[in-house]
Amino acid sequence: MKKAQSHDPYDMLGLDRQLCFPLYAASNLLGRVYRPLLEPLGLTYSQYLVMLILWEEGPIHVGALAQRLHIDSATMTPIVKRMQDQGLLTRNRDRSDQRHVIVRLTSRGQSLKDQAKEIPQALSDQIGDRLGHDVVEGLRTSVRKLVALLSEDLNTPIGVALPTPTPLK
């Protein structure tokens, strides 16, 4: 069922044949689209994602936050620190387990939700209208499957077959 495309390994090095590159480009471009929309709220894109979780789920540990966004906890720490400096949230040690740090929205952080609520709809409409809402929907579910695959395979690495590059040729 798969159409017989070239199996010359060199052909695979074409930028257009890769899946990774469009994803990389799309992610960067989306970040660039979000920037002017989030600037009035004083949020970066990563900070916006943190807010989405806090608005939806309430107080949460730093590690859980990082896990939810599929980023390293070493990346999360400075993000929530800056957000604390902005008065959006508080960071406190868990009294029952001093290793955990609980992140909580301040009232200022809570109230920001009102200003943010129009953003996803506006973007979703704009993209959906031009790309086709069904295309966007399929894209969303496919990418989520890919994310699920990649994040589970970070335990049993996906590239483990590489150490023996071409057994025989």
Partner DNA sequence: ACCTAATAATTCGTGCACGAAGTAAATAAC
Partner DNA sequence: GTTATTTACTTCGTGCACGAATTATTAGGT
User: In which element (H, E) is residue 100 found?
Assistant: none
- Given the complex with DNA, which of 133 and 144 has the nearer CB atom? 144
> Looking at this protein, which amino acid is placed at residue 17?
R
User: In which element (H, E) is residue 69 found?
Assistant: helix 62-69
In whole angstroms, give the CA distance from residue 104 to residue 73: 17
Residue with tokens 């590489």: 162
Binding string, 90-129, against a second copy, x = CB under 8 A? -----------------------x--xxxxxxxxx-xx--
CB of residue 97 to DNA, shortest distance in Å: 4
Residue with tokens 């960067």: 28
Q: Identify what 135 binds: DNA, a second copy, none; CB under 5 to 8 Å per kind.
A: a second copy
In whole angstroms, give the CA distance from residue 70 to residue 77: 14
Binding string, 22-51, against DNA, x = CB under 7 A? --x---xx-xx--x--------xxxx----
Q: Is 82 in the site for a second copy (CB under 8 A)?
A: no
Q: Which residues from 86-115 bind DNA, rule CB under 7 A?
A: 91, 96-101
